[in-house]
């Protein structure tokens, strides 16, 4: 069984099938948890304090937000951007929320969570952490231009949901508080530790800490849209057919322009797109874009290289859950596209390789296919070196 079911764990007892059919890009979903320590191992306020005081963060990575007033950066950061911690904690004590953006770049557990979700969804993710004083609020009512999963780590927050003034906003359609106001409240609830909330992009919301300090993490899902896909299609089509690169007809901008010929050509070009770029090719191109951009997460790799030298029939192995990869074939090789490169292995090792990349707790004898014992050792050592498989110590 593949241990890559992060989303299903977060939204349980709802199934992912029901989630994608009823809520994805449509409506909010609040999952109440019976386990208030569910995210205790993921993050804590004491860990955040330690990171703030030892990692020397700068603005805008760390900032203060406050729904009741405007905090100027100069009030809590030096000219270099380095955070003035005494000022930061003083303003926190007075009611301002500490926001740490792109926190997955600093925190291994959240980096792994992001990568596992990316592996499931195919969309880039990033995390922000919000630490809010009791009875305080960071942002006023607003919408985000990306979908969000909220993980309530500690404390409680009262959430208000409003309407959706802009359905599925583009990434550059940022919220403007001067022109967009919240409508009537559509939902009201309190997030308790262990709870999860899904908020689709465009849905207005705000949240206020209740009675005690609140710590929550948001996982932003930077979804690639069909509009993005068609940009790729046009780029590929233009590289293959010079008709797409021809200039628009002279005078097209003037009133009275006879557009009949140009309109016919426009229709012809649109009709040519599926023959120039098929969906399967488009899917691979867009998949490779995110695969190429995902750096290897290989905790313990130095130790793994040492263990790889001593593997034998008693050794047990597991596919790493971190890599985003795609497996294909050529005439002579099975190809693994991962970490921005392509790893080629003999075609006759394909069934064993696919098994090794999809399973947990197996031995050399478990591998299917025709490889002999030495060939299986060679394959597993290669996969360990490439950061795709681990040796389970004590196995």
Same domain, 243 and 361: no
What's residue 3's pLDDT? 37
Same domain, 288 and 319: no
Per-residue pLDDT of 147-172, as tens digits, reads 999 999 999 999 999 998 999 999 99
Same domain, 282 and 241: yes
Same domain, 101 and 160: yes
Last residue of one domain, picked from the residues 234, 268, 292: 292
CA distance 52 to 88: 10
CB 305 within 8 Å of CB 385: yes
CB atoms within 10 A of CB 317: 23
Question: What angle do the packed helices 226-240 and 279-293 form, to 10 degrees?
Answer: 110
What's residue 9's pLDDT? 94
Per-residue pLDDT of 80-100, as tens digits, reads 999 999 999 999 999 999 999
Instruction: Identify the band that residue 1 occupies on the pLDDT scale cut at 50, 70 and 90.
Output: very low
Last residue of one domain, picked from the residues 198, 222, 246: 222
Q: Taking residues 279-295, report their average pLDDT.
A: 94
CA distance 24 to 16: 10
Domain count, the chain: 3
Across the chain, which distance is largest between two alpha carbons, in Å? 81
Closest CA to 212 of 159, 158, 155: 155
Per-residue pLDDT of 87-134, as tens digits, reads 999 999 999 999 999 999 999 999 999 999 999 999 999 999 999 999
Same domain, 186 and 277: no
Same domain, 284 and 209: no
What's residue 393's pLDDT? 82
Which of residues 4 and 320 earns the better pLDDT score? 320
Same domain, 119 and 141: yes
Same domain, 231 and 188: no
Distance from the first to the final alpha carbon of the chain: 18
Instruction: Identify the band that residue 4 occupies on the pLDDT scale cut at 50, 70 and 90.
Output: very low
Instruction: Identify the band that residue 75 occupies on the pLDDT scale cut at 50, 70 and 90.
Output: very high
> Is 349 domain-assigned?
yes
Q: Is the pTM of this model over 0.85?
A: yes
Burial 189-202 (b: 16+ CB within 10 A, else e): eebbbbbbbbbbbb
The CATH number of residue 93's host domain is 2.60.120.650
Same domain, 322 and 386: yes
> Is 327 domain-assigned?
yes
What's residue 395's pLDDT? 59
Same domain, 111 and 249: no
> Is 1 domain-assigned?
no
Same domain, 58 and 181: yes
Per-residue pLDDT of 294-333, as tens digits, reads 989 999 999 999 999 999 999 999 999 889 999 999 999 9
> Is 91 domain-assigned?
yes
Residue 309's domain comprises 301-392
Percent of the chain with pLDDT over 70: 98
The CATH number of residue 353's host domain is 3.90.930.40
Same domain, 207 and 187: yes
């Amino acid at each position: 069984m593949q241990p890559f079911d992060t989303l299903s764990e977060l939204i349980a007892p709802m199934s992912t099938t029901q989630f994608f059919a009823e809520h994805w890009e449509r409506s909010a979903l609040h999952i109440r948890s019976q386990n208030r320590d569910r995210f205790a191992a993921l993050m804590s306020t004491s860990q955040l304090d330690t990171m703030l005081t030892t990692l020397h963060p700068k603005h805008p990575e760390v900032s203060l937000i406050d729904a009741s007033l405007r905090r100027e950066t100069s009030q809590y950061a030096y000219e270099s951007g380095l955070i003035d911690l005494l000022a930061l904690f003083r303003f926190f004590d007075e009611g301002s929320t500490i926001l740490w953006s792109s926190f997955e770049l600093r925190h291994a557990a959240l980096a792994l969570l992001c990568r596992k979700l990316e592996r499931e969804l195919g969309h880039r993710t990033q995390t922000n952490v919000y630490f809010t004083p009791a009875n305080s609020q960071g942002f006023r009512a607003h919408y985000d231009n990306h979908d969000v999963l909220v993980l309530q780590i500690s404390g409680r927050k009262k959430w208000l949901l409003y309407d959706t003034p802009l359905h599925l906003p583009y990434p550059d359609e940022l919220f403007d508080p001067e022109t967009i106001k919240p409508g009537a409240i559509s939902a009201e609830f309190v997030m308790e530790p262990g709870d999860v909330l899904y908020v689709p992009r465009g849905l207005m919301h705000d949240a206020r800490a209740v009675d005690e300090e609140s710590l929550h993490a948001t996982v932003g899902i930077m979804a690639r849209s069909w509009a993005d896909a068609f940009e790729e299609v046009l780029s590929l089509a233009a590289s293959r057919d010079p008709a797409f690169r021809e200039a628009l007809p002279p005078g097209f901008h003037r009133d009275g322009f006879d557009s009949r010929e140009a309109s016919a050509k426009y229709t012809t070009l649109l009709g040519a797109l599926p023959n120039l770029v098929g969906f399967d090719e488009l899917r691979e191109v867009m998949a490779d874009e995110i695969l190429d951009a995902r750096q290897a997460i290989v905790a313990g790799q130095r130790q793994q290289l040492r263990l790889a030298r001593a593997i034998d029939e008693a050794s047990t192995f597991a596919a790493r859950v971190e890599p985003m990869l795609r497996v294909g074939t050529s005439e002579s090789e099975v190809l693994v596209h991962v970490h921005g490169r392509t790893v080629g292995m003999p075609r006759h090792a394909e069934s064993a390789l696919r098994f090794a990349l999809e399973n947990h707790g197996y031995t050399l004898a478990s591998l299917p296919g025709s490889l002999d014992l030495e060939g299986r050792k060679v394959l597993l050592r290669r996969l360990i070196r490439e950061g795709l498989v681990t040796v389970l110590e004590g196995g």
